[in-house]
Chain A
Amino acid sequence: DQQVKQNSPSLSVQEGRISILNCDYTNSMFDYFLWYKKYPAEGPTFLISISSIKDKNEDGRFTVFLNKSAKHLSLHIVPSQPGDSAVYFCAASAREGGADGLTFGKGTHLIIQP
């Protein structure tokens, strides 16, 4: 059973607009969340993270929002640029009593249209 779910396999957004990628999780022990970006033929690279003590973390054009009660997080990219076209993975971890390491979703392929 997938503990981290990304229900949209792909998303198409026009350049300059906002991209919103969503992620849901089921394990209530998860308390740290990350987004990774992956280009073809490369490994995933760390993009941004958020701790469960926060509900928002911002880094330049990227903002991650966390809704603990809904077990939901989202990644906002504003404005979207062609170089943002990639697969984005949501990942989660638990400090104690949970799964070791990182648990990933299946990924969302973001396509930025010119």
Chain B
Amino acid sequence: DAGVIQSPRHEVTEMGQEVTLRCKPISGHDYLFWYRQTMMRGLELLIYFNNNVPIDDSGMPEDRFSAKMPNASFSTLKIQPSEPRDSAVYFCASSLFLFPIYGYTFGSGTRLTVV
């Protein structure tokens, strides 16, 4: 397996524009997580899915953020409209189980810069 695949690797956009981040989890993993990494807050969980269904979105910062998982092999995180404070590295991770007995497998991340 190629691991968790995220695209794009880098995204630079202007404030007010819509941004869509993409993730392909490891085949067979039932759980998919979106994390955001910033200097101030470290790695924080935004939302996670189980079998394509959103389970906990309490970490999503505002209504400007939305996430979908239309099928088992694809998820998107959308920010509309984007703001400079959204600049961060966004990671997608997947796992067989919610309890991380083997840890979660992370993608390489998308570095988002909003100017």
- B-binding residues in A (CB < 8 A): 2, 32, 34, 36, 41-46, 49, 89, 91, 93, 95, 100-107
Contact = CB atoms under 8 A, between A and B. Distances in A.
14 contacts: A32-B101, A44-B91, A45-B106, A46-B102, A49-B101, A89-B43, A93-B100, A95-B99, A100-B48, A100-B55, A101-B56, A101-B98, A101-B104, A104-B43
Contact of B45 (A32, A41, A102): A102
Contact of A43 (B55, B56, B99, B107): B107
Interface of B: 4, 33, 35, 39, 41-45, 48, 55-56, 91, 93, 98-109
The 5 closest A-B pairs by CB, nearest first: A46-B103, A43-B106, A106-B42, A104-B43, A43-B108
B48 A101 contact: yes
Contacts of B39: 106
Contacts, number: 64
Nearest to A6: B42
B9 to A, nearest CB: 8
A44 B43 contact: yes
A41 B108 contact: yes
B44 to A, nearest CB: 7
B113 to A, nearest CB: 14
Contacts of B98: 100-101
A21 to B, nearest CB: 14
B104 A105 contact: no
Nearest to A4: B42
Name the residue in B42, B44, B45, B105 with the highest tally of chain A Cβ atoms < 10 Å from its Cβ.
B42
B41 to A, nearest CB: 7
A14 B33 CA distance: 36
Contacts of B101: 32, 49
A102 B104 contact: yes
B101 to A, nearest CB: 7
A30 to B, nearest CB: 12
Contacts of B107: 43
Nearest to B111: A41
